[in-house]
Amino acid sequence: MTPVLDFRISARYGAREVLREVGAQIAANEIVALVGLSGSGKSTLSLSLLRLLHYRGGEVTGSIVLEGSELISKTDREMRAVLGKRVGYVPQNPASALNDRLRVETLLEETWRAHSSVPPDNDAFARLLTSVQLPHETAFLRQRAGQLSTGQGQRLLIALAIMHKPALLIADEPISALDAITQASVLRLFQELNQRDGTAILFISHDLLSIASISHRVEILHEGRIVESGPPGEIFHAPKHEFTQRLVAAMPRLP
């Protein structure tokens, strides 16, 4: 089966190399977790895969194949037809990702129009909001993004990311700003999307416990390289690389 995403890339900012031959494959119905400490290159990787790193002064080389199509050679205009439609992106913080002055209904409408010239059917937004466990009553739709709780804002970001049923969802530290109860709820939501729609998910995080609960495979990123890869059971019970061993040893354990 052809993977949804198959990449091997290096990335740099000027003379500073941040990623070195980092590669992985993600199939449909698969959640792959990328684990790394702060500064290990996780966000650089997500921006590289989205072909947005040059806006931060970075450069990406290598190969990024999405559904059999090479992205590295695509122009910015060609990438705009891919982002949001075939690839969804969920960033870390809804407060910085959403325009807090816009109403929920406006954000939904603008995101739809960005990738479709056909108007949505009457119940499209209601179904979408229900799928991410958000209300779809008029009172909620009329709220401005700045009035939403952090959990509601993150669910709205997920709704916007999956609106056009992308083949791949890239989630970059999507639960780090949430409380423990909301974290658990959002993790269940990612699992539901994966199981219900077959969405391939790249879940980027430093939270090992969350990763252990959600992923089918774990990639350990250290100093710009993938140093270990495998199912969560292998990674967390029999880590091979010294860095992975130190990570697992640092996981909190119940007495």
The secondary structure element, H or E, covering residue 247 is helix 242-249
The percentage of residues in the chain with a pLDDT greater than 90, rounded to a whole number, is: 67
> What single letter denotes the amino acid at residue 132?
V
pLDDT in tens, 158-213: 999 999 999 999 999 888 878 888 888 888 889 988 998 889 999 998 888 888 88
Place of tokens 């949001």: 84
Strands ordered across the beta sheet of 31-35: 87-90, 168-172, 200-205, 31-35, 217-222, 225-230
Beta strand extents in 67-130 (DSSP E only): 69-70, 87-90
pLDDT in tens, 103-121: 999 999 999 998 888 989 8
Taking the model in full, what pTM does it have?
0.91
pLDDT in tens, 26-37: 999 999 999 988
Radius of gyration of the chain (CA): 18
Of 7, 8, 9, the C-alpha closest to 58 is 9
| Whether the Cβ atoms of residue 18 and residue 223 lie closer than 8 Å to each other | no
Of 3.30.470.20, 2.60.120.200, 3.40.50.300, 3.30.1540.20, the CATH number of 5-249 is: 3.40.50.300
pLDDT in tens, 41-80: 898 999 999 999 999 999 999 999 999 999 999 999 999 9
Q: Is the pLDDT of residue 135 over 70?
A: yes
* Bridge partner residues of 200 (DSSP): 168
Model confidence at 94, pLDDT cuts 50, 70, 90, reads confident
What are the extents of the domains in the chain? 5-249
